[in-house]
Each structure stands twice: as structure tokens, then as C-alpha cells.
């Protein structure tokens, strides 16, 4: 008798509950049943206060559009990064659930708030690249940028702005965002056409707010 014959739904629930406890307080496991309606797909949730959802809630993203599609091309778990509530940042993976005919009817989603890990990563990067008492971005970028195209240059300076502030842009408060924009403005990145669009997405602000912050940065620099 194959071991798969012993693996039932009760086992799955116990396993997922144990997995959540193993991953810790910053993780959650959510099970969706897409057959129960688009507005109420969550049927099980372990430690779901991480994202603020509960049983009876709805899915995020476009997963519901997969209902009834063939799972064959989507058997591998989907790994994603996304912004969560209250300035949190999630690393997630989603495994789709098929019915007996191989059609998608639900999913198991594991989400982990990695905000603290990202901040630690930036702190370590800053420590390794610069003296701990001298937390500032490089002033001589010629060698670093010599072989980079325009998109790479923008990404490079955004990474340096995060090192300067000490945290990812998605987790910065208003003052930190202004500080980052001041640095980027002095590096001339706003001459690149797609800069404002990318910064709005990364900083999670509107274009109106972005340019208000930029004006504050310039005013503070010239005062």
C-alpha cells in the first residue's frame, strides 16, 4: 500500500497548522476554496492576523481567475513578494489545489512578513560596505556605473538611497522618503523618464505626493 493512501485532508490541516507554528509568529497559512464564491474563499486560516484576514474572507491578487483552469502548467508553487498592511512586506508562496479532473478549485497560501529581515539585510549591507560610524551612500560612482545602462543606473541609485536611509523604500516614513528623494535628486535620476513612475510604486505614494516630497527636499537643501 502506497503512503499516499494514508494522506487525507485531516493530515493536511494538521501539517499546515504545524508548518505555521514552525515558521513562527510572522507567518500565516491560508486555505482558499474557490468553489464557494469569489467573495468568501478562505476556509482555513492559521495565524491570519499577520495579513489581517479571517475565515470567510476573499483572496488577494488574480488567483480567483484561475478557477476551473487546467493545473498542468501551474503545478509548481508560485513565489512572490508583495506589500502588506502597516508598512509590512511579504514573501509568499501559493500552491494550487486541483479536483479529480485536474481543474483548479483552490489554493494553499503561505505568507511571511519579512520586514525585519529586510531591515537587517540593509543594516548588514551598510555595515559591510561602509564604516559603521559613516552611514552614507558612495560619492564616487564612476567605476560602479561605467558599464550600466539607464535602467541599471536608476536601480543602482535607489539601492544606494536605501543604504543611506537604512531600510527598504517601502518601509520608509515621510522624513526618510524625503531624505532618499533628496539623494536621488542630487544624483540626477529625475532626468530619466521612468523615474517618477517607479518611485511612486516603490515608495507607495501618488505622483502628487512624490513631487511634494521632492519639493520639500529641494527647499530644505536650499534653505
Q: Quick: pLDDT tens for 18-38.
A: 999 999 999 999 999 888 777
CA distance 99 to 77: 17
Is the pTM here over 0.85, yes or no? no
Number of domains in the chain: 2
Q: Are 38 and 96 in the same domain?
A: yes
* Cβ–Cβ < 8 Å for 203, 175: no
Q: Are 80 and 126 in the same domain?
A: no
CA distance 31 to 108: 5
Q: Long-range contact list for 66-73, CB < 8 A, 24+ apart? A: 66/34, 66/96, 66/104, 67/34, 67/35, 67/104, 67/105, 68/103, 68/104, 68/105, 69/103, 69/104, 70/102, 70/103, 70/104, 71/96, 71/98, 71/102, 71/103, 71/104, 72/102
Q: What is the percent of the chain where pLDDT is above 70?
A: 84
Residue after which a domain boundary falls, among 113, 139, 168: 113
DSSP class of 77 = P
Q: Are 89 and 142 in the same domain?
A: no
Residue 82, domain extent: 3-113
Q: Are 137 and 67 in the same domain?
A: no
Q: Are 99 and 172 in the same domain?
A: no
**Number of CB atoms found within 10 A of residue 38's CB:** 11
Q: What is the pLDDT of residues 59-107, one digit of tens each?
A: 765 666 677 788 888 888 888 877 777 778 888 888 988 888 888 888 8
Predicted confidence (pLDDT) at residue 193 exceeds the cutoff of 50: yes
Q: Are 142 and 169 in the same domain?
A: yes
Predicted local confidence at residue 70, as pLDDT: 86
More confident residue, 155 or 183: 183
Predicted confidence (pLDDT) at residue 146 exceeds the cutoff of 60: no
Q: Are 101 and 132 in the same domain?
A: no
CA distance 111 to 199: 25
Q: Are 52 and 86 in the same domain?
A: yes
pLDDT averaged over the chain? 81
Residue after which a domain boundary falls, among 113, 132, 150: 113
**Number of CB atoms found within 10 A of residue 18's CB:** 12
Question: How many DSSP H helices and E strands does the chain contain?
Answer: 7, 5
Amino acid at each position: 500500500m502506497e503512503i499516499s493512501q494514508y494522506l487525507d485532508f485531516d493530515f493536511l490541516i494538521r501539517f499546515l497548522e504545524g508548518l505555521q507554528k514552525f515558521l513562527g509568529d510572522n507567518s500565516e497559512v491560508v486555505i482558499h476554496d474557490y468553489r464557494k464564491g469569489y467573495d468568501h474563499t478562505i476556509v482555513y486560516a492559521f495565524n491570519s492576523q499577520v495579513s489581517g484576514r479571517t475565515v470567510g474572507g476573499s483572496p488577494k491578487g488574480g488567483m480567483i481567475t484561475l478557477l476551473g483552469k487546467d493545473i498542468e502548467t501551474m503545478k509548481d508553487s508560485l513565489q512572490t513578494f508583495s506589500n502588506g498592511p502597516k508598512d509590512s512586506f511579504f514573501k509568499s508562496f501559493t500552491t494550487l489545489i486541483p479536483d479529480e479532473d485536474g481543474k483548479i478549485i483552490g489554493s494553499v497560501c503561505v505568507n511571511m512578513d519579512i520586514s525585519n529581515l529586510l531591515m537587517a539585510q540593509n543594516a548588514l549591507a551598510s555595515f559591510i560596505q561602509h564604516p559603521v560610524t559613516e552611514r552614507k551612500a558612495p560619492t564616487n560612482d564612476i567605476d560602479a556605473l561605467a558599464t550600466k545602462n539607464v535602467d541599471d543606473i536608476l536601480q543602482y541609485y535607489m539601492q544606494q538611497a536605501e543604504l543611506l536611509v537604512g531600510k527598504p523604500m517601502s518601509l520608509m516614513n515621510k522624513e526618510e522618503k524625503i531624505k532618499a528623494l533628496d539623494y536621488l535628486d542630487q544624483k540626477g535620476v529625475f532626468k530619466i523618464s521612468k523615474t517618477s513612475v517607479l518611485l511612486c510604486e516603490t515608495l507607495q505614494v501618488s505622483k502628487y505626493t512624490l513631487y511634494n516630497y521632492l519639493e520639500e527636499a529641494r527647499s530644505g537643501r536650499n534653505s
